[in-house]
Amino acid sequence: MTREETILNAIYTGSSSTTLEPGFQIILNLNHLKSSKEGGIQ
């Protein structure tokens, strides 16, 4: 997989992939929390 595919895969699966840089994983987690707050309560 390319780096982009790995990132997209991590976003879609919600998995904490060890192939991603730790800092980038934190960014993914923050984005996930942000989107959960915006779209979690229907």
pLDDT of residue 3: 82
The percent helix, strand, coil of the chain (3-state, each to 5) is 70, 0, 30
User: Side chain identity at 17, as an amino acid letter?
Assistant: S
Q: pLDDT tens digits, residue range 1-31?
A: 688 887 777 776 655 555 556 667 677 777 7
Q: Give the span between the Cα atoms of 27 and 10, in whole angstroms.
A: 12
Q: Give the span between the Cα atoms of 24 and 20, in whole angstroms.
A: 7
Q: How confident is the model at residue 42 (pLDDT cuts 50, 70, 90)?
A: very low
pLDDT of residue 14: 59
Q: Read off the pTM.
A: 0.30
The angle that helices 22-39 and 3-13 make with each other, rounded to 10 degrees, is 40
Q: Give the span between the Cα atoms of 5 and 2, in whole angstroms.
A: 5
pLDDT at 32 over 50: yes
pLDDT of residue 13: 65
